[in-house]
Chain A
Amino acid sequence: MQDGAVHPGASPSPLPEKVSVTLIVNGIERRFSVLPWVSLLDALRDHLDLTGTKKGCDHGQCGACTVLVDGRRINSCLTLAVMRDGAHVTTIEGLAANGALDPLQQAFIDHDAFQCGYCTPGQICSGVGLIAEGRAKTADEIREFMSGNICRCGAYPNIVSAIQQAMGAKP
């Protein structure tokens, strides 16, 4: 991270220190300390050992890192862990309840909505967020509101079908 370059005009600052952060991740309170520049994505993967959330582009372009923060889907690569202190975070590991898959997880299996699976945790978290928003209804709307999740294998038609099933809509 440190490039050692001298930055004219920047006042000399003490070396940044780790900041204590508390997150409620999948219903469990987790406390840890991170340097300020650690993204929520890296905190989940490297500090909390929750590697279900994937690091794809790390620039908010692919959606593989999508998680739900306080119920809203966001790109965890484009937010700092320190900025989310106190937040409720739901990752792919937290969607199943009491041994039963979330309806959208089951729908992804039913519709074969993936091949390699790398984008799938982000797709499913994004889809859960979409269903909670309650706005997208038609296939066109589902495609539009899922456009932040890229699937390199091209499973899009099946992903739309899976979301329609989970929404209770007719495919």
Chain B
Amino acid sequence: MIPFQYTKASDVADAVRLIAANGGAKFIAGGTNLLDLMKDNVERPTTLIDISRLPLNSVEETASGGLRIGALVPNADLAWHPLIEKRYPLLSSAILAGASQQLRNMASTGGNLLQRTRCAYFYDTATPCNKRQPGSGCSAVNGVNRGHAILGASTSCIATHPSDMCVALAALDATVHVTGAKGARAIPFADFHRLPGDTPHIDTNLAPDEIITAIEVPAKGFATHYSYLKIRDRMSYAFALVSVAAALEIKNGTIEEARLALGGVAHKPWRDAGAEAALRGQPAEDASFARAADLLLRDARPQAHNDFKVDLARRAIIRTLTQAAHGTPQSQSNKTIQ
């Protein structure tokens, strides 16, 4: 870790002023990912602006029937918030599928969106990495890439986004509220994270002088037909090889509305409008789910070491949609997959 200055922001406006005035500064909230990266010299801020005590830690109902989640609500509190558990159990389930309780107690909602990839080469400062050092090359393309992307990758970067929570937020059509020097704006969740292209060092469309203030979820919570299924190398406390968030509205056996988002397969939570459209109006049964899975994976390009992810994703999609249709969501404690 390199030495840095430490300062506390007194309010959101102060935080924006401080970050705009110092190009080497970073915000710190939960710190669980940033401090980890600083210890490895991957992140090297010259100043940390502590925003952890700003009053952005409430969950409030919106006029349109949704919820506005303060950016500093800890992940654990969000997963166990009565309104989230009741109306957005997909979000609760996805959060509990990630990290450990200690980390969920620290990590903030906004910080979860901004966590960096866990690609081993990104962490290893002795190796080239376009995300860490633009233009230096990608060590994963010809390296050990079992955990890497099968969708939306580029020749510059094949890293995946590590979050579980974001997969659910993508499926729920959340909105990210941010404030910057030029004022406040709202970013649809699908536009928040970026594909790597030739600028993999830029993870999101959040401007350098902007701060996330809240995440809004719309009224539709899919509390009846949902499931979050996470497949990983060990039963708990590991990043996803493939994860699936599925949410359905079903009437008389016919799918009226469908949401499908994948984690562990791309540089951002992966949604496919075509796959979701193919589910609408169809019977809630295996054949429909298989068609959607095939559509979503039609452009999948596995790396040298992760052919298996394509078939794993296909099966996980079908299984998760089945769980959602049956109203039997995946338990995050008993890992038996029904």
What per-residue 1/0 map shows which CB atoms of A96-126 lie under 8 Å from chain B? 0000000000000000000000000000001
Q: A1-B1, A79-B35 are in contact. Are A11 and B24 (CB under 8 A)?
A: yes
A119 CB, nearest partner CB in chain B, Å: 13
The secondary-structure label for the interface of chain A is loop
Q: CA A82 – CA B31 in complex, angstroms? A: 12
Instruction: Decide if A19 touches B6 in the complex (CB within 8 Å).
Output: yes
Beta-carbon contact of B237 and A148 below 8 Å: yes
CA distance A79 to B332 in the complex (A): 27
The residue in chain A whose Cβ has the minimal distance to the Cβ of B96 is A144
- Interface-side segment among A22-30, A48-56, A134-142, A157-165: A134-142
How far apart sit A78 and B38, CA to CA, in the bound complex (Å)? 10
In the complex, A66 has a CB within 8 A of chain B: yes
B20-35 contacts to A (CB < 8 Å)? 22-24, 28, 31-32, 35
Q: Is the contact region of chain B dominated by helix, strand, or loop, or is it mixed?
A: loop
Of the residues B2, B36, B38, B100, contact of A3 by C-beta under 8 Å: B2
CB of B24 within 8 A of CB of A73, answer no
Cβ-defined contact, A1 with B24, below 8 A: no
A78 in complex: contacting residue of B5, B35, B235, CB < 8 Å: B35
Chain A residues contacting B106 (CB-CB under 8 Å) are: 74-75, 78-79
Contact call B102/A148, Cβ cutoff below 8 A: yes
Chain B's interface size range is 35 or more
Q: Which residue of A lies closest to B1 (CB)?
A: A37
Q: Which residues on the A side are within 8 Å of B35 (C-beta)?
A: 39, 78-80
Minimum distance in angstroms from A59 CB to a CB of chain B: 5
CB neighbours of A58 from chain B (8 A): 39
Asked if A80 contacts B103 (CB within 8 A), the reply is no
Q: A129's contact among B24, B36, B48, B101, by CB below 8 Å, is which? A: B101
Contacts of A143 in B (CB 8 A): 236, 333
Which of A5, A36, A39, A133 is the most central at the interface, judged by chain B CB atoms within 10 Å of its CB? A36
Chain B residues within CB distance 8 Å of chain A: 1-6, 22-24, 28, 31-32, 35-36, 38-39, 41, 44, 46-48, 50, 52, 76, 80, 99-103, 105-106, 235-237, 331-335
List 15 interface pairs A-B (beta carbons < 8 Å), by A numbering: A1-B3, A3-B41, A7-B44, A13-B46, A36-B4, A37-B1, A60-B103, A74-B102, A78-B31, A78-B36, A78-B103, A136-B333, A138-B334, A140-B335, A148-B103
